[in-house]
Amino acid sequence: MKKFIILNILALWFGANRICAQIDSVPTTHYLSLDDAKNYAIEHNYQNKNSAIDKKISEKQQWEYIAIGFPQLNATAEYKNMLNLPTSLLPGEIVGRPGEYIPVQFGQQHNASWGVTATQLIFNGSYIVGVEASKILTELAKQNYTKSSLSIKETVTKSYYLVLIAEESKKILEETKLNFENLLKEIKESHRLGFVEDIDVDQLRLTKQNNDNTIISVDNQIKLAYRLLKYQLGIDYNDDIVLTDSLERFVENINEPFLMGEQLELNKNIDYQIMQSQEGLKLSALKNEKSQYLPQISGFLSYSQNAYDNSFSQLFSKWYTTNIIGIQINIPIFSSGMRNAKVQQAKLNLEKIRNSKAELEQGLNLQVEQLRSNYINAKLKFENEKWNMELSKKINTKTEKKYKQGMASANDLMLTQNQYLQALNNYYQALSQLLSVSTELNYLLQKN
């Protein structure tokens, strides 16, 4: 009876564990608007999380360097057992034995000491410059985090658009597939009655098969697009995501006056801000090399006690105290031109970074002009492809009606169907390009 009870308890325990494991493995569904997706990615994207950690590390490193200029306190303790006391040789003249050396041993077998030393940096040019550089490094880490966040927002936005476009494309293809199935039933019946030839049925089958193959291809694209978006968001690939925004909303909300009229403010552009920080670091490096010509001054205070005895039991009975206070000055005098060479190298590195800064300034302005030109072309192409798609749809609808009324051939119907599908493909490609260019331009013009 007891064994039976124990077995039942174990069975229940293992069953409960299996249920809990199944509950833990149930995928989570995330319902995300574009804004939700961007905010989620900032917090959970793996690269962005590391960038946030780097920012915190830089803050700790800044304090680490600042602390060098504050008082430093260190303590030491030591015990030594002189198994063999050191031997020294004294001239024999000391004891009336000229020409000889007398071996003698000094000290006690057991030695103990402890002490405390305080040091304080009084003046060091490198330290002053280093504190300034550490602040710049902290600011640079913050800027890199901002750039990482902006970059992931832009990437997530494009991927979000990609998924929506693929989903919309699949929806149209599914509708077309249903239409093909209905037409195929009708044309088979017409073929049975002798109104159409075999070639007409085969052509419609071929077109339907091509459409089915396209659906399979789009399905695979959708799966990859969702997987990519999950990766960028930092969502587990087993979880599901549902996008709650629509393509129409994004097309309607493109802020064209902002994209085409907003001035690029370099000082508020994150790439330019990062370049300014890098310039500041090179300037600090130059100051640091120049500071090597200045003296370095530090002060110290030391307190220690020492004990000596040949008997360990008596070692700690008497201590001898030593107190020292002092100041140390290191004055650089001559380095055979080494310091001057380092100063000249720092000047050249500063000149290089300033050239890169000027290049970036021109490059950013050129990039804005190029993206605006691309946007105008993308918008024009989108409008043309939209018109073509609507027209081809209209033509296809009319041809279907004529075909059902016996006024159009199956060949005519296949031709208009293919035209419509090609127009749809061109339309979505143009839509994708328009949204992509507007996204790039929007993030370039944003002020940080």
Q: What is the pTM of this model?
A: 0.83
CA distances from residue 58 to 52, 140, 410 in whole angstroms, order as listed = 10, 9, 71
Q: How many CB atoms within 10 Å of residue 82? A: 14
What residues contact residue 129 under an 8 Å CB cut-off, 6+ apart?
284, 287, 288, 291
Give 208-226 pLDDT, tens digit per residue: 888 889 889 999 999 999 9
- Whether 11 is covered by a domain: the verdict is no
Give 222-248 pLDDT, tens digit per residue: 999 999 999 999 999 889 999 999 988
Is the domain of 303 the same as that of 403?
no
Which residue is associated with the tokens 């016996």?
Answer: 406
- As a whole number, the mean pLDDT across the chain is 89
Residue 14: is its pLDDT beyond 80?
A: no
Is the domain of 399 the same as that of 290?
yes
Residue 35: is its pLDDT beyond 50?
A: yes
Distance from C-alpha of 378 to C-alpha of 183, rounded to nearest angstrom: 36
pLDDT band at 95 (very low <50, low <70, confident <90, very high): confident
> How high is the pLDDT of residue 448?
61
**Which of 307, 331, 355 is the last residue in one of the domains?**
331
Is the domain of 113 the same as that of 56?
no
The CATH number covering residue 303 comes to 2.20.200
Residue 11: is its pLDDT beyond 60?
A: no
> How high is the pLDDT of residue 8?
52
pLDDT band at 22 (very low <50, low <70, confident <90, very high): very low
- Whether 393 is covered by a domain: the verdict is yes
> How high is the pLDDT of residue 19?
52
Is the domain of 115 the same as that of 194?
no
- Whether 17 is covered by a domain: the verdict is no
Residue 431: is its pLDDT beyond 50?
A: yes
Residue 79: is its pLDDT beyond 80?
A: yes
> How high is the pLDDT of residue 4?
47
> How high is the pLDDT of residue 132?
94
Residue 30: is its pLDDT beyond 80?
A: yes
> How high is the pLDDT of residue 102?
85
Give 334-369 pLDDT, tens digit per residue: 999 999 999 999 999 999 999 999 999 999 999 999
Torsion of CA 2, 5, 10, 16, to 10 degrees: -160
Spatial CA neighbour of 154 closest among 3, 65, 270: 270
Select the more confidently predicted residue: 258 or 417. 258
Is the domain of 195 the same as that of 159?
yes
Range of the domain at 115: 72-122+297-331
Residue 426: is its pLDDT beyond 90?
A: yes
Residue 265: is its pLDDT beyond 60?
A: yes
Is the domain of 84 the same as that of 181?
no
**H or E segment and range at residue 406:** none
> How high is the pLDDT of residue 325?
96
Give 396-425 pLDDT, tens digit per residue: 889 888 877 778 877 787 788 889 888 998
> How high is the pLDDT of residue 155?
95
> How high is the pLDDT of residue 418?
83
Select the more confidently predicted residue: 381 or 12. 381
The proportion of the chain whose per-residue pLDDT surpasses 90, expressed as a percent, equals 65
**Which of 315, 331, 347 is the last residue in one of the domains?**
331
Is the domain of 116 the same as that of 255?
no
Residue 13: is its pLDDT beyond 60?
A: no
Is the domain of 272 the same as that of 316?
no
- Whether 5 is covered by a domain: the verdict is no
Residue 21: is its pLDDT beyond 80?
A: no
Q: Are 284 and 129 in contact (CB under 8 A)?
A: yes
Is the domain of 189 the same as that of 115?
no
Distance from C-alpha of 361 to C-alpha of 353, rounded to nearest angstrom: 12
Give 136-152 pLDDT, tens digit per residue: 999 999 999 999 999 99
Residue 10: is its pLDDT beyond 60?
A: no
Is the domain of 195 the same as that of 151?
yes
The CATH number covering residue 370 comes to 1.20.1600.10
Is the domain of 403 the same as that of 306?
no
Give 162-183 pLDDT, tens digit per residue: 999 999 989 988 888 888 888 7
* Count of structural domains within the chain: 2
Spatial CA neighbour of 271 closest among 351, 347, 367: 367
Which residue is associated with the tokens 């804004």?
Answer: 35
**Residue 403 tokens, joined:** 């075909």
> How high is the pLDDT of residue 400?
82
Is the domain of 269 the same as that of 290?
yes
What residues contact residue 379 under an 8 Å CB cut-off, 6+ apart?
434
